[in-house]
Amino acid sequence: MQVTSLAKAPSTTTIPATVTYKKTKFKVTSIAKNADKKSKTLKKVTIGANVTQIGASAFYGCSNAKTIIIKNAGAIKTVSTGAFKNVNKKAVFKIYAKNKSQYNTLVKKLKKATNRKDVTYKFIQA
């Protein structure tokens, strides 16, 4: 299941690990291209543990986004171009990972997906 767009003008958004539809549970595995592009109100994003792919420009231009929480570094295989380009220059990526290797792998992908050199990455033992 893919998140394609977010509610209008949220300040906080959570991409859940799962959603339930007609009593059936589905894993949320991706965030679509441009899902919340240029949101000026978004301040905090939490990305669920089952997300494996973050689409191009998913959070591009979210200049007030200061907290990005990633619940499972090991699950994320793809962070597309510009996914976090132009987030707040004081943004903090809080990354839950089983070990430093998973964390470092994801940080390399995130650095390619943002143009900010001054964002902070924090390792949180999962």
DSSP 48-115: -TT--EE-TTTTTT-TT--EEEES-TTT--EE-TTTTTT--TT-EEEEEESSHHHHHHHHHHHHHH--
pLDDT at position 32 is: 94
pLDDT at position 2 is: 60
Identify the architecture of domain 2-125 in CATH: Alpha-Beta Horseshoe (3.80)
32-90 pLDDT, tens digit each: 999 988 888 999 999 999 999 999 999 999 999 999 999 999 999 999 999 999 999 99
Identify the burial level of 5 via C-beta atoms within 10 angstroms of its C-beta, where 0-12 means exposed, 13-18 middle and 19 or more buried. Answer: exposed
Query: What is the residue extent of each domain of the chain?
Result: 2-125
